[in-house]
Structure 1
Amino acid sequence: MRILVAEDDMTTRVMLESLLKKWGYDPVVVSDGEEAWKVLSGEEAPYLAVIDWLMPGLEGTEICRLVRERNRMNGKYQYIVLLTVQSEKEDVIRGLEAGADDYVVKPFDSQELRMRLSVAKRILELQEKLAFFANHDQLTKLLNRHALFERLSGEMARSDRERTSLSLGLLDLDHFKRVNDTYGHLAGDRVLRFIAKILCRELRPYDVVGRYGGEEFVMILPGASLQEGYRILDRIRERIGDRPLKLDDDQVELTVSMGLAEYRQGMTMDGLIALADEALYRAKDAGRDKVSF
C-alpha cells in the first residue's frame, strides 16, 4: 500500500521511510506541507498518510481540513495519522476536529505506529469493499442498476458534448426459468456468472456492462452507431450460443435475446431504455436468440 510521509525533520523522515519499507509499505516522502497537499490532491493520491503537525508551508491540521473538504466532493476517503509533540488533551482534540483519524506523539514508539497503521489499513480495505459492493452486483461482480444509471447519464452527457454516437443494449437470457426449475437456483447463479464473464471478455475495454436485474444485463456502448452496436451484440450472442455450460451431467445450450437502441440528442434516459426494451421484446417475439433494434 502506498503511504505519504510528510515530515520536515530529516532524521525522522529517513527513519519513517526505512520503517515503512520494512513493514511492506510503499512510502512517498515529502518535507513540507505544500508538497504533502500536492501529493494528497493528485490523481493517484495515497489513501494513507502520516503527517507531521508542524511543518513549513501548510501545517498538518490545515492539510487535514483541505483533504476532508476535497473528499466530501469526490466521494473518496484518505486516512491521516498526525505526528505531534503536542500531547495535551486540548491539542489532540484540535487535531481530530481538523480531520485527523489518529495521532502519534513524538518521539514515537515504532511498534505503536506500526499497530496504528495496521488499524488504518484494515479500515481502508473494509471501506474499499463497501464502496465496491455499493456499486456492484454481488453475484456477477458487474455494475449494479444504480451505478449503471450513473454511467449512462455521464455517457449521454458526453455524447451531447462531443457529438459522438452512443448505443444501449439490453440482454435477456432465454428460458432462464427452465434452468432454475430443472437444475436449481445455484445452477442459475452459475449461468449468470458465466454470461457475465463472456460479456466482460467480448465487449470493448471502454464499454460498460452491468446487471440490470434478474437475468437481464445492460451494455453501454460509447462511440457505437446502431450498425456498430449491432455487430458487437450479435458477436456476443454467437459466443454465448457456441459455449454450452455443463449443469449436473448435461451440456446446456444457452441463448439470449437482445435489444439495441441508439441515443439521439435530447432523449431522456428513460426514453432510451424504453426503446432498447421495446427492441428486446421484438427479439423475443421473433423467436428469441436474436438482436433487434
Structure 2
Amino acid sequence: MRILIAEDDFTSRAMLAAVLRKSGHEVLEAGNGAEAWEMLQQPQAPKLVIVDWMMPELDGLELVRLVRSLPTDHPPYLIMLTAKGEKADIITGLDAGANDYLGKPFDPGELRARVEVGSRMIEMQAALIASREALVHQATRDPLTGMFNRRAILDHLDKELAHARRHGELLAVGMCDIDHFKRINDTHGHQTGDEVLCSLTQIFKHSLRQHDTVGRMGGEEFLVVSTMQAGADCRLPFDRIRQLVADSRIATRSGDLAITLSIGVALAGSGATVDTLLEASDLALYRAKGAGRNRVVLAQDQEDTPISLPGEDAP
C-alpha cells in the first residue's frame, strides 16, 4: 500500500518510513503540511496518511480538515501522530476528521497494527463502493443489450435538456425503430430477435459520436440523444446510423439477416420538455414508417416550422 508520512522531524519521519517499508509498503514523505496537502490533491494520492500534529506552514489539524473537505468517494484513512496525550487532544484530532491516532514516541508494533487496521478499512470501503457502483449499473442498464434502460436514458435526456438551456446548445433526439421486427421474431424466433437487438447495440456503439448517448426504450425502439453545434444539419448523425445499419449483415443463428431502421428526430428549443420531445419524435417516426421505412424524418418538417414547445413562440 502507498502511505504518505507528513512529519517535519527528519529522524521521526525516517524511523516511520523504515518500519513501513520493512512491512512491504510504498512510502512517500512530506516535510510539512503544505507539501503533504499538495500531494494529497493529486489523482493517485495515497489512501493512507500518517499526519504529525505539529508541523510548519500547515499543522496536522488544518491538513486533516482540508483533506476531509475534498469531494471524493475515496477519502484517505488518516492517522494522527501526536505527542499530545491528553484525552481532550485526542478527541480534538478525531473530531477534525482523523480516523485513528498514534502517540509519540511510537511503538513499531503498534504502528504496524494501526496501519493494518487502516488497510482493512480501505479495502472494505473499496469493496462497498464497487458493490454500490455495480448496483447502480444494474439499475440503469437494459439486461439484454447492456445499453441504458428506459429510465436511465430519459434521466439523461432531462439532464441534457437542462444543460442545453444553460449553454444555448442544440439538442436533438432520435426515436429509432427496427423495421418489420415482429416479422423477424415470427419467422426466426425470439432468440434470433434478441441476437439482432444485441448486434444493433454494437452498431450503435461504433456509429455514435462521443457526445451521443443511446438507450433502449423497450422492444425494438431505441432513443438517441445528440448534442450539436448551432446551425449543424441535425439529420446527418441519424442518417449515418441508418445507413450503417442498412449496409450491415447481422449474423444470427438463423443466418445473416438484413435490417433497416426508421428514425424520427425532434429538436429541442429552450422550453422543450422530455414529454414534448418524445411525442414529437414518435410522430416523426410514424411518418417515417408511413413513407416507406428505412429513412430519417425530422419532426419540424411536418409544418415547415419549428415545433411549438412550452415557453417558445412559433415563428
1:179 is displaced (CA, Å) by: 3.3
Q: How does 1:167-178 map to 2 (within 5 A)?
A: 167-178=172-183
Higher mean alpha-carbon deviation, 27-36 vs 149-158, is at 27-36
Change (3 A) 1:281 1:37: farther
Whether contact under 8 Å (2:5, 2:51) holds in the other structure is no
Deviates more, 1:259-268 or 1:210-219: 210-219
Report matched runs for 1:206-285 at 5 Å: 206-223=211-228, 228-285=233-290
Conserved in 2, the CA contact under 8 Å of 1:210 and 1:219? Answer: yes
TM-score normalised by the chain length of structure 1: 0.73
SS of 1:209's partner is strand
Aligned to 1:5: 4
Cα deviation, residue 152, structure 1? 2.4
- Contact between 1:241 and 1:254, CA under 8 Å: does it hold in 2? yes
> Which residue in 2 is equivalent to 1:108?
112
Offset of 1:65 from its aligned partner? Answer: 4.7
Equivalent position of 2:157 in the other structure: 152
Cα distance change on mapping 1:152 and 1:96 into 2, 3 Å: farther
Q: Which residue of 2 aligns with 1:126?
A: 131
The alpha-carbon deviation at position 165 of structure 1 amounts to: 2.0
Offset from partner CA, 1:60-114 (integer Å, 9 cap, x none) = 76357534xx45xxxxx224423256999999999888777x7586512466655
- Show the counterpart of 1:50: 48
Preserved CA contact (<8 Å) 2:79 2:101: yes
Cα gap change, 1:258 to 1:97, in 2 (>3 Å): farther
Q: SS in structure 1 opposite 2:278?
A: helix
The equivalent residue for 2:168 is 163
Question: Using the alignment, how far apart are the partners of 1:204 and 1:279 within structure 2?
Answer: 22
Match of 2:192 among 187, 191, 200: 187
Give the whole-Å Cα distance in 1 for the aligned partners of 2:171 and 2:3: 40
Which amino acid is the alignment partner of residue 152 of structure 2?
A: A
Percent identity between matched residues is 30
* In the alignment, structure 1 residue 292 sits paired with structure 2 residue 264: no
Alignment-mate amino acid for residue 51 of structure 1: V
Shift of 1:291: 1.1
**Structure 1 counterpart of 2:203:** 198
Deviation at 1:255, TM superposition (A): 1.4
Aligned to 2:79: 83
- Counterpart residue identity of residue 50, structure 2: D
Distance 1:236 1:222 in 2: 15
Rate the CA distance shift 1:189–1:276 in 2: closer, same or farther, 3 A: same
In 2, the alpha carbon distance for the partners of 1:181 and 1:206 equals: 36
- Further displaced range: 31-40 or 248-257: 31-40
TM-score by length of structure 2 reads: 0.69
Contact 1:226 1:261 in 2 (8 A): no
Tell me if structure 2 keeps the 8 A contact 1:104–1:113. Answer: no
Whether the 8 Å contact between 1:5 and 1:16 is mirrored in structure 2 is: no
Structure 1 window deviating more from structure 2 (134-143 vs 189-198): it is: 134-143
| C-alpha spacing 1:214/1:117, structure 2 compared with 1 (3 Å) | same
Aligned residue identity for 1:52: I
SS in 1 for 2:112: coil
Cα distance in 2, alignment partners of residues 182 and 39 from structure 1: 63
Larger Rg: 2
Aligned residue pair count: 277
Matched-pair contact (CA < 8 Å) for 1:6–1:32: no
Unaligned 5+ segments in structure 2 are 103-109, 299-315
Tell me whether 206-215 or 30-39 shows the greater mean CA deviation: 30-39
Question: Which whole-Å CA distance do the structure 1 matches of 2:66 and 2:222 have between them?
Answer: 43
Q: Which moved more, 1:51-60 or 1:165-174?
A: 51-60
Distance 1:41 1:122 in 2: 23
CA contact 1:79–1:120 (8 Å) conserved in 2: no
Code of the aligned partner of 2:78: L
